[in-house]
Structure formats: structure tokens, C-alpha cells
Structure 1
Amino acid sequence: MPRGALQRGAAAAILAPNREPMMHSAIPRRAASAATPPLPAAEASAQQAPARGPLVWRDMDQAALDAAYDQGAYAPNRDQVLGRYASNSALARAAMGAPQREAYGSAAIEQLDIHRTSAAAPAPVLIFIHGGAWRGGLARDYAFPAECMLRAGVHFVVPDFAAVQDMGGDLLPIAQQICQAVAWVARNAAGFGGDPGRIFIAGHSSGAHMAAVALTTDWSGWGLAADVLKGGLLVSGLYDLRGARLSARSRYVNFTDAMEEALSPQRHIARLHAPVMVMHGSLETPEFQRMARDFARDVAAAGKPVQAIRGEGYNHFEIIETMANPYGLVGRVGLAMIGV
């Protein structure tokens, strides 16, 4: 398929409309009989609540919305966990050996890491799309789940792809790259011992968003079967871009109506041909939790197989670490989805 096909299709898309009151008791007492009456409830509430601006999205003003799309506001250990991604990936590569590196496109960034299982061929393949708010992350720092998958007999493939700031703020070319990577795996799986009939996709955060885009792509334009992907593991993703577009993320993503429509998987569930596992942590922003619930609800309403799973006690960055353990939350769900 020509590289610009996804962009052209997107340009034709149509945008869908879319405490109890405090008692005032902290004054000097002049006499035992001088009781001070409580403030009216509305006045007391106004003294407690911070000033709010006009509502921008659902029940949020701009400050609340910006925080809702900034996981760091809810995860004070973000930098430590991201550091673990890299260090644990280095340990995994030391244990498994270097991955097979292949180009899926012509640009320098368009390469992928194939961590190959030693299980007998043909073995299932899991493509993992990393997160990073669409603007960061490298495949080498997302090898930490690979050892769990390899020991279970699953090839683990992690593509690299462009950062949005290198695409002039446009997410559409990144979606195109993800689809290119999936198509490459489908056409070349047999060459590295993979089973073309058992290709699955997983993603975390903005990677879960792009994995959901892939799951709702019309693959006929790529010369592939509609069900080329046999299942999706979506962890802490975004499934409709309207809220993100209204948030501070618009400072580095140049959202357009066409982009919002084309890359909002919740609006394209009719093109979903695989079971999906939709997961989120209980300590994520309320907006990310809502998006997961709403997407799973709409998939179920469409009569398609879906499981909605809430990970208790995990924030946005911690939950994906459990994919490295076959007895961890995401690892267990992922292996069950693949059937190993």
C-alpha cells in the first residue's frame, strides 16, 4: 500500500459531534455563650474549593483536563519506573542475547527488534507497541517483557517508529509506520519461525492507542486478511482523541478533524475483528480509567469479544511491568490471550 494511503483516507473522514461544609470555628472565643452559627453550605463550600475555570471536557476545566492527560501528575515515581524499563531491558537482553534487527520500511527509524523464542516453529508472534506520549521511547528499552514471552514459546517483536515532533506534530505518519510494521511481520513471520496465522498485538499508553488503531484498520488495503491480528492486549490506552485534543497535548500534536476521526479507534469498532483485553491501573488518572471502561463497554455493545480488567494498586507506569512475569497481571492475561 502506498505510504500516503492512510493519510488520504483520514483526510476524507468526517468529524463526529461530539466534605461536608466547614464550620467556621477558628475565631477567638469572647464568651461561652457567644456561639458562632455555621456558614451557609454554599458559602462554606466556596471557601474550601479551589477556583475553577469554565468546563472544557466533561466535568473538567483546563487545568484539570491537562492533569488528566499527564500521568506524572498521578505517578510521582514515574522517572524511577521508566529507569527500570531500561535497566530491566538490558538484563533481559543479556539473558536472551541481542534481538534480530530488521527494517520494515526505508526510513532509518523504521526498524524492529525480533526476540526469537527457541520453541519449535511455527510459534505465535506478539507485536508490542511502546508508549511515550507519542514523542519518546525506543524498542531497546522495551525488551523487559520479552523473556517471559520467549520462555512461553512466543516471538516478541518491538518496532521503532517516529516521534510526533519529528513528524511536524502529525500522528498519521506514525500510525502508518505501525501498520507497516504489522504488515511486515505478517509477510515475514515464517522467515523467523513465526506463525502468520497467530499474530497478536499489545501496546501500552500511547502504544495501546496505536495498537487499537491497528486493530481497527481496514487491512484489505494492505492486501491482508481483515483478521490478520488475532487478538489485542491494550494497557492504559487512549481510544478517542477528543479529550487529548483539548488538553495540553495539543501543544505538541497538531490535531486536525481528520486526524481525530481517523485515529479514534472507539469510532471504528465495526472494523474490529479480534478479541481485545482492555486493561488499566486503579491509580491512573480518572480520565484514562474512564477511557478504558468506555471503550470496553462499546466493544461489548457491538457484540464483539472483550475483557475489561482493572489492576488494583498500579499506576500508569507500573502496570506494564507486570507483563514481564507470567504470574503478573498483564503477563498472565497476555499469555492467556495467545493461548500458551
Structure 2
Amino acid sequence: MSGMKVKGPAVWLDMDQAELDAAYNQAAYAPNAAEVLQRYVMRSEATRAALGEPLRFAYGESAIEGLDVYPTRVPDAPIAVFIHGGAWRSGRARDYAFPADVLVPAGAHLVVPDFAAVQDVEGSLAPMAEQLRRALAWVHENARRFGGNPQRIHVLGHSSGAHLAGVMLTTDWAGRLGLPADFIKSGLCCSGIFDLKPPRLSARSSYVRFTDEIEEALSPQRHLALLNAPLIVAYGTSETPEFQRQPRDFAAAVAAAGKPVELLVAEGLNHFEVVESLGCSDGLLGAAVLAQMGLG
């Protein structure tokens, strides 16, 4: 038949190269992406108008190595560290203040770290992971400076930030930084990547320098023996096929490893819309995180 698209050889599962590239390209499945990203910015501006400017601390020596803290007035409060997304190559802490709308009134601090974009660190994900490990170590060591409880640190992440949150949750903290192995008390990974093999085969390899070592070391699903925190994994039904499969497979692997995990599915929401529910106390993610942190 004329005009029919010819499917190429399978590259990953039953997907040819074009299908795999699309499955790791949000634009192919979320035509309103720019509008929703602008909504993050506007909501974050409204958050600061209500709560005030965040405290800003340096956790490392380079200019990007800083973090925003939206403090609660509750003493000795738990801390939620949110790792933003952006396909590993964009995003800034300032545009992800909106989870504070739920967390701060409920009695938790929100911490949002900035970290390098992959193109600024020679295409390697490893320096980004190291920066975030230092940021979390800083939060653990300095929590009292903003009224936080270092025994109640929780890690949340969205998109590429969910991948990096997964890396944080499967880090050998005692071996790497001499921190308690279980200092992260819970995790939320929303719409993330948990095994790097398929994105390595996709067009993302045009800007991420994947190696065998990186693929192995930074695929959280391969290091579940190091997972010490109960986990929430979430995705939306209007996400790309891979951004639905990866969370499902990750949650199944965590459960198979005998670790506590809850899988949340946001009906009708795409990749960018899902995380907005983190900014509503009755939203799918907002309510789940409050319960997970014991703030009910």
C-alpha cells in the first residue's frame, strides 16, 4: 500500500529506531509541554509570593552547586529534597518551588538543589550524580541550620530527576560518604528512567555520553540491594510507552526484591502534568507524599 510507513528492524523490545526515539522524546506525546513548563514557573512565583524567597545555601564550590530551602515554621521538621527533571539538560531549582505549597503548611521543609546540565559536564551523568550526593550529604549535615531534622530526609524526583532520585536511593552512602546507609527515609520517583540501556539505544545518546560503566553504575533497577527506603513510583497514562513501562518494571523489580513499593497511575495525564499534583494536598502525588512522610 502506498504511503504506508515501513517499520524498521527492532532496536528495543518491538520498537524500531524511530519508535524508540519517540518513546524517549516527550514532545512526541505531550504537545502542551511548553505550556505546562510555563505553569511550573508561574506557580513557583506564586509560591514565593505566599511563602517568601527561599533560603539559599552552597553545597559545593562551583556556581551551580547551590540549593533553595523553603522552610516550615514547625520545629525539627522533616525535609523533602526534590530533584527536578529536564531530560538531564535543562531545568533550575527556582522553577520547582510549587511542591512547597503542600509541604510547608503541612510541616516539612522543601529543598530544591541546582546541579549541572549534562552538556556542561562533557555529556556525562556521573558528575550530576556526584553533585546530588554532595547536596544530600550537605542537607544531612546542615539540616539544623534551617530547623530540619537530619533523621527525617525524604527524596522526590520527576523525569530525569526521578532517575537521579533513584540513583540517590540506591547509593552506597556508608561506603562513599560515611553516612548512615538508611538516612533517606522514603522516596518518590515520578515518570522516570530506571535502566539506562534503552535510552542509550535512543536519540538521547546524541547528547549523553553513555558507556558500559555509566549504564551499569547509574541504572537504579540494577542496585536494589542498596535500597533502604519505602518507595512510591508514579506515571501518567498519557506518557510515552517507555515512560510508562520503565516505572512499571521498576516497581515490579522493587517488589520482587522484597522491598516496600507503591505504584501510582495518574489517569489521563502526560509526562509534564503528573508532577503538578505534587503541589496539591488532595492531588495524587501531594496526598501520597504527605502520607509517606507521616504528615497526613
Q: TM-score under structure 2 normalisation? A: 0.98
Q: Tell me which of 164, 188, 194 is aligned to 1:233.
A: 188
Offset of residue 50 of structure 1: 2.0
Pairs within 5 Å for 1:158-307? 158-220=112-174, 221-307=176-262
Residue pairs, 1:19-168, within 5 angstroms: 50-119=5-74, 121-168=75-122
CA distance in 1, matches of 2:46, 2:232: 28
Aligned residues: 294
| Matched letter for residue 261 of structure 1 | E
Which amino acid in the other structure matches residue 279 of structure 1? A
Quote how far apart the aligned CAs of 1:192 are: 0.9
Q: Which residue of 2 aligns with 1:325?
A: 280
Q: Hey, what's the Cα distance between the residues in 1 that align with 2:291 and 2:169?
A: 18
Aligned residue identity for 1:145? P
1:213-270 per-residue CA deviation (whole Å, 9 max, x = no partner) reads: 0000000121111101000011000000000000000000010010000000000000
Structure 2 SS opposite 1:303 = coil
Amino acid at match of 2:105: R
| Gap runs ≥5 in structure 1 | 1-45
Measured after TM superposition, the shift of residue 147 of structure 1 is: 1.9
Distance in 1, Cα, partners of 2:63 & 2:152:
28
- Cα RMSD after superposing both structures: 0.9
SS in 2 for 1:98: coil
- AA in 2 matched with 1:65: L
Deviates more, 1:204-213 or 1:138-147: 138-147
Q: Secondary structure at the match of 1:156?
A: strand
Q: Percent identity?
A: 59
Give the superposition deviation at 1:47. 6.5
The separation in 1 between residues aligned to 2:101 and 2:160, in whole angstroms, is 23
Offset, 1:72: 1.2
Equivalent-residue separation in structure 2 for 1:147 and 1:100 (angstroms): 16
Find the aligned partners of 1:114 and 1:223 in 2 and give their Cα distance: 24
Cα distance change of structure 1 residues 47 and 333 upon mapping to structure 2, 3 Å threshold: farther
Other structure's SS at 1:127 match: strand
Deviations 1:164-184 (A, max 9, x none): 000010100000001110000
Alignment partners' CA distance in 1, 2:261 and 2:144: 29
Give 1:222's aligned amino acid: L
CA displacement, residues 111-132 of structure 1 (integer Å, 9 cap, x when unaligned) = 000000011x100000000000
Once the 2 structures are TM-superposed, how far is the Cα of residue 65 of structure 1 from its aligned partner? 0.2
- Provide the rounded CA distance (Å) in 2 between the counterparts of 1:166 and 1:71: 22
Most deviating of 48-57 and 164-173: 48-57
SS of 2:184 mapped into structure 1: coil
Which structure has the bigger radius of gyration?
Answer: 1
Tell me the CA shift for residue 145 of structure 1.
1.3
Gaps of 5+ in 2: none
